[in-house]
Structure 1
């Protein structure tokens, strides 16, 4: 009798079969991608056109728009509390429409408070369109279906999963690994087609100074005038694309969900942990917020741009945001300042920055330190480029996980992470938006932001760069006499130097180093 296979051979066969099944699953996804992706079934719709003096927002901006024909008004939203207040105020003043487009909307206190504002707007007759990327909407179907059940609210998901939860969702992720990798990273809050808030913030407590343990340093631009209309046109393009699928076509609704959601949002507003935040917020909420207290700078050289909704299917990269930003950086003559939480320039980007330095351009970069980075894999992609950049004369700053100044967080000493994505060129041209300086933003995700050619806006953005790169908030990177990488904490007295990544453990450093050996850079 022939002996039975050994345990090792049986295990090898099992692994082979599992691998073959996975390959077959992925192959079927490649061959049947168009059929596996949920089809858009929603009715087309477009932004409601602004009308003179129809809504409180129309009336609040009427005089300023008349005084600046053809120009757009802009104001930076640096402080997290002010960024929340701006969204809340324009939502409460909206009388016609709300178009909201986000990569993430968290199921937390801030998310519930803004849902409450949006629901109240719908109750008074405002049309609401909410477009979310589906990758981060897992487990939120009940809440989204509840909103969608309102007769004046419609919710759509970008590039959604057919399977909403459990093992089947995981299997679909494997099968559609290539098509599911393309996500909508855009962020826009558009009220009445009059005001648009565009920038880097998702909707969640950490983005609005509402979590004591985390403080994301982020940046938005509040826009009025023609730029707000450009943001509306971008929203329409995404909303009506075949990548956007109504939530109602993906999951069954429940008649009780809307009442439950509203009750939960109202309860959040009364919870003990929300009261201090709401008390601080009341100081910012005034009826004249947009027209008065928040001063707008007016310019005819402000534009909102986005990648196309089906970027991964578009072979013409001339209209991609990476192409526009590359052209802006290529025009630098004396200064390039970059702020990016995830910075993976690649060999080409590194060479271009080094060439700028060789041509006499000052190049400065702020990104997260390992301790402040919320995605260790991205840091593993960035760490390879520090030495060549420093050797070539680029100035590098890494944000500390904890600022030494009381101003570093509204809650005192708290964790910090850079989330701002911005560029300043020659103290005149600039960009603020969702675009990280990494391959994922360049080639995989759709991104959105504001490009300007205006010395006043550039000066204000340069001040934010100088604040973030200052001793209280960032380490200064340099090479010692032996050419070794060092971190300088200039806030210490005397200044202190570090020979390893500050505020990290050996396990963090070892894990990041191991990840850096993997061929993942194109996905970062």
Structure 2
């Protein structure tokens, strides 16, 4: 037997040995242990469950009172800042009087996750029913925590969606086994995010429950967006949540093999006392959420009165084997595609991962071929900002197609944006220093080595132990090990570098785009979970809020345009033509691009440009404007990136990544 076969047999043996299934009787016994341990004590007997005053919940009450079946009224609030998004959640949870339904893709055991758990359990103890539904691949990381939550209180229920191998958590060997036996099911994830309080107010959008989404990570955070909605549309949110909650793929956590086995061995554990890594920061945001006047002034009063609001969401039947039943459960993608194709003047599209499905490519091609095609402006990540290296590599492969065949105007988010809705102070980074151009460094600027992943810069001592990292465990040298917790988690273990951020030329608190939004013709705004990619079309279940209101669309467009401003993004445009044989070079590159495997042409059609303001260039110009080149300087294909050997990896993934497009 060869060494490779021995390794494979050992791997499968380890995987199978670690995932022995409980019998039906054992599952029942484990569930009984959890149910019997649940407290039934309720600290408040008042009809409102002693809820705190909530200015944001009041929006839902007011909208419901003003609505009629013929004329619904809503309030909508864009949540761009991470701190606003967290405070809004705390305000609603503390103001809940009857029920809280929480659905999410990621729920990590870091400060943000623990804070929300504390608030949910406090609501439970005063009499509020809480239901929490989390996708398996990115659920809480500790089995004992899951067992404790399963046993915590009669008012609290936790279910795990699509638990491959019948477990809440899977290890590396188990993941390999699951990929071998059940690759399609492993990729079918619940990507929806929803917080619904009393059926009156809901929050949905890109944010999960992890420090990275609330500006609480000293190394990398997501620039994200949610929308809070109060009014009749929350009934559709509630119906969609119920469909997932009752789905066969949503399993009570106590009935899973690892959690059930823990309950059978150890009994019902007490809830752990999870100390906050940055208690002062947690205390500040908690006090802010208690400040009724501040929440009202900054958030509730900023909510916009709007008319019709449409919530669309895929159903869990999308993950059935029956193709007809699965197709009937897909709601988000067809509606979003139809909405985009209805545009007459302008499409403003924001997605962190610019990888388009075949259907989307055909749609944008048709739109570009119109006699008067709409302008299509795209906000996405640069390689320096993205958390998904391989996804960017595939996007890089198709830049020519995006620009020339679809007419896209692409703006790539910078890792150190100068004017983005972020809270640098909240990150907890220390020894912050500023460069002459206004960008930020932690400690002194330094250049990471080409051959290795970036190490913690000088001046960051102790941060790895602060718990404000990426949410994974800390390894021996203090660096954070990234958890299985990104949008493309099913590819997390596919190879080195899939979700490893590339090293940069200087140190600093890095930010990456994660918002998924759309504005059509300055009158329709969309905020949701769909990345407008093949995964969203074919694998993940997605959701979105669609609001046809010029004022809301304008506010959303302003937010996206801020992200694509020159201080926050580079613009992608055709590189300067070579002095000779430019037509031949273009033709060869185009032929190579269409090859599914051996795309090895060394020169790409487009590159990144930086706006150069001056008397003749008072404002940026679109990349197709004849004067564009006079006002923009090329800064290379991968600005800010210190690739070294990574450049070779980029070429490899560019050459061979096309086959991964359906699951990217």
CA contact (8 A) 1:421 1:434 kept: yes
Match of 2:638 in 1: 501
- SS, match of residue 178 in structure 1: helix
* C-alpha distance in structure 2 between counterparts of 1:237 and 1:108, whole Å: 29
Once the two structures are TM-superposed, the CA of residue 361 in structure 1 deviates from its matched residue by 0.6
Unmatched runs of 5 consecutive residues or more in structure 1: 1-9, 24-34, 44-51
Structure 2: give runs of 5+ residues left out of the alignment. 13-23, 33-46, 426-431, 433-439, 441-508, 578-585, 587-604, 615-630
Matched with 1:520 is 660
Q: Which of 315, 320, 332 does residue 343 from structure 2 map onto?
A: 332
1:151 aligned residue: 154
Equivalent residue of 1:437, what SS?
A: coil
| Residue 142 (structure 1) aligns with | 144
Match of 1:126 among 125, 128, 133: 128
Distance 1:72 1:367 in 2: 30
Q: Name the residue aligned to 2:607.
A: 486
Say if 2:536 is the partner of 1:398: no
Aligned pair partner of 1:219 in 222, 225, 232: 225
Residue 520 of structure 1 aligns to a residue whose secondary structure is helix
Aligned to 1:510: 648
Q: Residues 279-428 of structure 1 correspond to what in structure 2 (within 5 A)?
A: 279=284, 282-283=287-288, 285-287=290-292, 293-295=299-301, 296-313=303-320, 315-316=323-324, 317=327, 319-320=329-330, 321-359=332-370, 360-392=373-405, 393-405=407-419, 409-411=423-425, 413=440, 414-428=509-523
TM-score (normalised: structure 1): 0.84
* CA displacement at 1:234 relative to structure 2: 0.7
State the shift of 1:223 in Å.
Answer: 1.0
Which residue matches 1:65? 64
1:143 partner SS: helix
Instruction: Measure the CA separation in 1 of the matches of 2:335 and 2:368.
Output: 21
Counterpart CA distance in 1 for 2:31 and 2:238 is 18
Whether the 8 Å contact between 1:61 and 1:290 is mirrored in structure 2 is no
The alpha-carbon deviation at position 98 of structure 1 amounts to 0.8
8 Å contact 2:416–2:568 — kept in the other structure? yes
Q: Indicate how the Cα distance of structure 1 residues 509 and 291 shifts in structure 2: closer, same or farther if over 3 A, else same.
A: same
Q: CA deviation at 1:16?
A: 6.7
Distance in 2, matches of 1:237 and 1:148, equals: 21
Change (3 A) 1:137 1:124: same
By how many angstroms is 1:180 displaced?
A: 1.8
SS of equivalent residue, structure 1 residue 116:
helix
Q: Are 1:53 and 1:62, in contact at CA under 8 Å, matched by a contact in 2? A: no
Q: Cα distance 1:298–1:318, how it changes in 2: closer, same or farther (>3 A)? A: farther
Q: Is the alpha carbon distance of 1:221 and 1:302 closer, same or farther for their aligned partners in structure 2, counting shifts above 3 Å?
A: same
Answering whether residue 372 of structure 2 is matched by residue 234 of structure 1, we say: no
TM-score by length of 2: 0.67
Return closer, same or farther for 1:20/1:219 CA change in 2, 3 Å cut-off. Answer: same
**For 2:292, what is the secondary structure of its paired residue?**
coil
Describe the SS at the equivalent of 1:310.
helix
Distance across 1 between alignment mates of 2:528 and 2:553:
14
Q: Residues 354 and 394 of structure 1 are in contact (CA less than 8 Å); yes or no, is this contact kept in structure 2?
A: no
Per-residue deviation, residues 433-485 of structure 1 (Å, max 9, x unmatched): 11012111110011111122221211111101110110111101111331742
In the TM superposition, what is the alpha-carbon distance from 1:430 to its structure 2 partner?
A: 2.6
1:512 shift after superposition = 2.6
**Alpha-carbon displacement from aligned partner over 1:333-368 (angstroms, at most 9, x marks no partner):** 111111000111145433432432343210111111
User: Which deviates further from its counterpart, 158-167 or 437-446?
Assistant: 158-167
Matches of 1:213 and 1:443 in 2, distance apart? 32
2:466 is aligned with 1:453: no
Cα contact 2:31–2:254 (8 A) shared by 1: no
Aligned to 1:114: 116
Alpha-carbon distance in 2 for matches of 1:246, 1:389: 44
How many Å separate the matches in 1 of 2:58 and 2:521? 37
Asked if 2 retains the 8 angstrom alpha-carbon contact of 1:74 and 1:222, the reply is yes
Once the 2 structures are TM-superposed, how far is the Cα of residue 308 of structure 1 from its aligned partner? Answer: 1.1
TM-aligned CA distance change 1:281 to 1:391, over 3 Å: farther
